[in-house]
Amino acid sequence: MATVISYGAAGTVTGSCHLLEVNGIKILIDCGMFQGNVEDKNYELFGFDPTDIDYLILTHAHIDHIGRVPKLVKEGFNGVIIATEATIDVAYIMLQDAAKILIEEYNIVYRKAQRAGEERNTRQPLYDLDDVDNTFTKTIMKAQYNQKINLSDFLFITFHQAGHILGSAFIEVEFIEGETDKKVVFSGDIGCKKRLVIDGLENGLTTNTLYIESTYGDRLHKSVYESIEEFKQAIIKTIDRGGNVMIPSFALERTQEILYILKQMSENKELENVNIFLDSPLAIKATELYNKHPFFLNEENEKDVLEFENPFTFKNLNLTQSVQQSIAINNFQDRTIIIAGSGMCTGGRILQHFKHRLWNPVNSLIFVGYQVEGTLGRKIIDGAEFISVHGEKIAVKAEVYTINGFSAHGDQKDMLDWISTFNGIETIYLVHGEDYQTKAFKDVIKARFDNVKVHIVKEREHIYI
Ligand SMILES: [Zn+2]
Query: In this predicted structure, what is the pLDDT of residue 293?
Result: 78
CA 63 to centroid of ligand 1, rounded, Å: 8
Contact 84, 142 (CB under 8 A): yes
> What is the CATH number assigned to the segment(s) 2-219+408-464?
3.60.15.10
State pLDDT tens for residues 9-33.
999 999 999 999 999 999 999 999 9
Query: In this predicted structure, what is the pLDDT of residue 64?
Result: 96
CA 330 to centroid of ligand 1, rounded, Å: 32
CA 360 to centroid of ligand 1, rounded, Å: 33
CA 286 to centroid of ligand 1, rounded, Å: 15
CA 187 to centroid of ligand 1, rounded, Å: 11
CA 140 to centroid of ligand 1, rounded, Å: 21
CA 403 to centroid of ligand 1, rounded, Å: 18
β-pair type (462-464, 399-402)? unpaired
Contacts with 347 (C-beta within 8 Å, 6 or more apart), sequence order? 101, 104, 105, 341
**Other C-beta atoms lying within 10 Å of the C-beta of residue 241:** 14
In 298-423, at which residue ranges do the beta strands (DSSP E only) sit?
317-319, 336-340, 364-367, 386-389, 392-395, 399-402
CA 406 to centroid of ligand 1, rounded, Å: 13
CA 133 to centroid of ligand 1, rounded, Å: 22
CA 59 to centroid of ligand 1, rounded, Å: 9
CA 237 to centroid of ligand 1, rounded, Å: 31
Amino acid at 85: E
β-pair type (2-8, 462-464)? antiparallel
Query: In this predicted structure, what is the pLDDT of residue 412?
Result: 95
Query: In this predicted structure, what is the pLDDT of residue 198?
Result: 79
Under-70 pLDDT residues of the chain = 294-310
CA 8 to centroid of ligand 1, rounded, Å: 14
Q: Which long-range contacts (CB under 8 A, 24 or more apart) does 96-101 make?
A: 96/129, 96/132, 97/251, 97/282, 98/33, 98/63, 98/67, 98/132, 99/70, 99/125, 99/127, 99/128, 99/129, 99/131, 99/132, 100/129, 101/347, 101/348
CA 93 to centroid of ligand 1, rounded, Å: 15
Query: In this predicted structure, what is the pLDDT of residue 199?
Result: 79
CA 242 to centroid of ligand 1, rounded, Å: 35
Query: In this predicted structure, what is the pLDDT of residue 303?
Result: 57
CA 61 to centroid of ligand 1, rounded, Å: 7
CA 179 to centroid of ligand 1, rounded, Å: 36
Structural fold of domain 224-402:
Rossmann fold (3.40.50)
Per CATH, 2-219+408-464 and 224-402 having the same topology is answered no
CA 60 to centroid of ligand 1, rounded, Å: 7
Report every protein residue that has its C-beta within 5 angstroms of ion ligand 1: 62, 189
CA distances from 194 to 8, 218, 367 (A): 29, 21, 21
State pLDDT tens for residues 135-168.
999 999 999 999 999 999 999 999 999 999 999 9
Query: In this predicted structure, what is the pLDDT of residue 46?
Result: 97
CA 191 to centroid of ligand 1, rounded, Å: 9
CA 65 to centroid of ligand 1, rounded, Å: 7
Closest to 7 measured CA to CA, from 54, 37, 49, 36: 49
Give residue limits of the domains in the chain: 2-219+408-464, 224-402
